[in-house]
Amino acid sequence: MKEQIIEIFKSVFHYDPDKTYFSPGRVNIIGGHTDYNGGSVLPFCINAGIYAAVSLREDNQVNVYSDNLSRKGIMTFSLENLSYDKDRDFANYVSGVLMELTVRKFDINRGFDICMVGNLPRGGGLSSSAALLILITKIVNDYFNLNIDGVRMALITKTVENMYIGVSCGIMDQFIIANGKKDHAIFLNANTLDYRYVPVDTTNHKLLLVNSNQTRKLTESKYNVRQQETQDALKIMRKHTDIKDLCDLSPEEYEANKIYLTDSMLRRRVLHLVTENVRVRAAKLALENSDFIALGKLLVEAHNSARDLYEISSEVLDDLVEMALASGSLGSKMIGGGFGGSTLNIVKADELDQFIKNFSESYREKYQLEPVINIFEPTDGVSEI
């Protein structure tokens, strides 16, 4: 892919690029919607993402080209015009980072030419938006010697996604992509940003993703609605408990105070978060002990909770989970923000071929299509290549 992106750059801009970069997608093993509610998550970077070739310019112009969106051509803007522009399309992720860095008084005095190509499954819920934001931040950080570390990089790009792009996401996606480590997941407390690396041994167990082929944009889904619902619940619970975030509640505290949530829908939302946060800690222990049977059970519990309590699944995602379990998966759950995306599955390495055969037969019978199955390995975060 490095050679490919260099050739793309040369064909678009007619000269050789200075540098090449890779920014990975991510999979969250468990911790659905806990990150923006002060809880813990357990994500890892995957060996698929966005590749970029880039060169600094002598002027203040920025030229952005995506080979995946070649029909849009080169998107151009200047460092003096960084406000959001709907006509700028995907290049708003680039201008958004530059604007946020400028607001934070970083000195960025030259533009650049950049070409990108991604190999993330489209609409797979693998966080291509965070990969792009971190990619641009890393490039600018390197070129202008801004000395931004991985934690601060995550905070900056979360602000861009929240305030500039308009998605009320938490910090998980940006954090793992900025700080990922090969063969490890990150156990992250999204409230304190304390984190530790957890080994992920894929020798005897493989991590498979099945794409639902249901594409959804978070800004057009109920993702922001769920965040508002949890904020409404938090306001109520703060009147009766000493908590900062909903995930501060223990299961016992939830049971003792759920009476104050008179709306049954809000009860379901909070119950999911409280129990999911407990599952994240249990999943961390399972990974540390390479206990994939226990981890698989936790994945199923997490999916059922996302489906029934947080109500962010879909009929197709539920089908994919049932098919996977029937085909031999030790555990299966939806990943991503919900309402589409992919499912994560744990399969014994020596049963991999049989699982794929069984699952594919069931999928073809149901949908008259070939399933999109990917096997991913935990990899490093964003880097120059």
By annotation, the residues acting in catalysis are 173
CA 271/CA 250 separation, integer angstroms = 10
- Are residues 80 and 135 in contact, defined by beta-carbon separation less than 8 angstroms? no
Mutual orientation of helices 128-143 and 92-103 as an angle, nearest 10°? Answer: 50
Segment (H or E) for 192: none
In the DSSP assignment, the letter for residue 170 is: -
Strand order of the β-sheet with 331-335 is: 331-335, 342-348, 205-211, 372-376
- Are residues 314 and 212 in contact, defined by beta-carbon separation less than 8 angstroms? yes
State the burial class of residue 35 (Cβ atoms within 10 Å of its Cβ: 0-12, 13-18, 19+): buried
Segment (H or E) for 385: none
Q: Residue written as tokens 């009476």?
A: 259
